Chains A and B, each alone.
Chain A
């Protein structure tokens, strides 16, 4: 089991563009959470998906949206990119909205 996988590893975009990040959860996990980690900061919760629905959301604007597929994989979409969206985006999976999160390696997004 490769654990939680994320793609792409790195991404460079320009302001105003849109981006899609992908995550495959650990085998046996059905819940996916997304976190944003700015440089020098701790991860910040964006939202969580379970049973293909957004269950919890952090303090992020509507430009941040997501989706979960029947195979439990998930996408994070960010529209109208701002320079401040540059960060490491972490995906974490868990079984049944459980408390034990397994993190992926992250996608490094740079907005120019």
Chain B
């Protein structure tokens, strides 16, 4: 069965520092990976997906099939990046998402 692991429940960095949120997955097929973000008192929203290979709000994520990872990175963290981040996997068939447990990112001034 598919599984998504986010090893860090909490991550704290200072403004301007690089940040990396880790995500590892297990899935026998060819998955599609996403990062969702939930800012304080807001709903869960899509941040980025691996197939688009785009940078959103300065964040990037590269799918590494060899290491089965999809880490989220930003070179210079901002205070407004403070939020809960969820990594999610979509199976080859169907549209259900399997989420990790989330990482709470705090960017300190």
Residues of A whose CB lies within 8 Å of any CB of B are 3-4, 31, 33, 35, 40-45, 48, 55-56, 58, 90, 94, 97-106
Complex interface: chain B residues within 8 A of A40 (CB): 9, 101
Residue in chain A with minimal CB distance to B102: A42
Residue B99 CB within 8 A of the other chain? yes
Complex interface: chain A residues within 8 A of B97 (CB): 35, 43, 45, 101
Give me 6 other A-B pairs in contact (C-beta within 8 A), A33-B96, A41-B102, A56-B96 excluded.
A35-B99, A42-B102, A45-B98, A90-B44, A99-B32, A104-B43
Q: How far is the CB of B2 from chain A (nearest CB, A)?
A: 11
Q: 15 interchain pairs (CB within 8 A)?
A: A3-B43, A33-B95, A33-B96, A35-B97, A35-B99, A41-B101, A41-B102, A42-B6, A42-B102, A48-B94, A48-B95, A90-B44, A97-B95, A104-B43, A106-B43
Complex Cα distance, B9 from A3, in Å, reads 29
